[in-house]
Chains A and B, each alone.
Chain A
Amino acid sequence: ETGVTQSPTHLIKTRGQQVTLRCSSQSGHNTVSWYQQALGQGPQFIFQYYREEENGRGNFPPRFSGLQFPNYSSELNVNALELDDSALYLCASSPRQGTPAGEQYFGPGTRLTVT
């Protein structure tokens, strides 16, 4: 059973640019959540995808968008990057329905730096 993987591990972008972060969920997991973790802070929920549809969203502007694919992998897209978008972006997958709710399996994260 493979774990959650994310790419790239590090990324440097310029303010105003666009970025796409990728996540492969753990085998058999159909729910993917994305979190933003600023330095010294806890993870902030961005949104969650379940069976290719957005299933809940946190307090993030529309320039944060996502996709989930039939194989349950996911992308996080951020347009018009701002300096405050610099953070560690974490992807977490959850098992299919019927398994204990709430337990999530995290990838190692993508460190985004906006200059």
Chain B
Amino acid sequence: AQSVAQPEDQVNVAEGNPLTVKCTYSVSGNPYLFWYVQYPNRGLQFLLKYITGDNLVKGSYGFEAEFNKSQTSFHLKKPSALVSDSALYFCAVRDMKVYNAGNNRKLIWGLGTSLAVNP
């Protein structure tokens, strides 16, 4: 079965320190991977995606993610955390199941990781 795992419910980091939010996946074939961020009482905002090409993907707000096929991971990183980065982070993978029409854009989501950046 296709799935996404975010092994940490919460990550705490001091402002200015590097941060990593972990994600592992299980899909058949080549994965399309995504990171989204959710601020309190807000919808989800797209951060970055990996479809093909360079394993290091750069996204919004200084975030980047590294695709590692052998470890089936797609960890989110940032060299220097800001207090304003505190939010809920979701990793997602595109469902490879084929539907009848259109591009299949259903996403399978992890449970989320709460990031707290302390001043």
List residues of chain A with CB under 8 Å of any chain B CB. 4, 6, 30-31, 33, 40-45, 48, 50-51, 53, 55-56, 58, 90, 92, 94, 97, 100-109, 111
Contacts and interface: CB of A to CB of B under 8 A. Distances in A.
B112 A106 contact: no
B94 A101 contact: yes
B43 A94 contact: no
B94 A102 contact: yes
A54 to B, nearest CB: 9
Contact of B105 (A4, A41, A94, A111): A94
A43 B90 contact: yes
Interface stretch (B14-22, B61-69, B75-83, B96-104): B96-104
Given A31-B102, A50-B101, A102 B107 contact: yes
Interface of B: 32, 34, 36, 41-46, 49, 51, 90, 92, 94-95, 97, 99-112
Contacts of B94: 101-102
B65 to A, nearest CB: 14
Given A105-B46, A109-B43, A42 B102 contact: no
Contact of A50 (B44, B46, B102, B111): B102
Contacts of B34: 102-103
Nearest to B34: A102
A48 to B, nearest CB: 6
Contacts of A100: 49, 51
Contact of A48 (B49, B106, B110): B106
A31 B97 CA distance: 17
Nearest to B100: A55
B101 A51 contact: yes
A73 to B, nearest CB: 16
B44 A31 contact: no
B61 to A, nearest CB: 16
B107 A108 contact: no
Contact of A33 (B105, B108, B112): B105
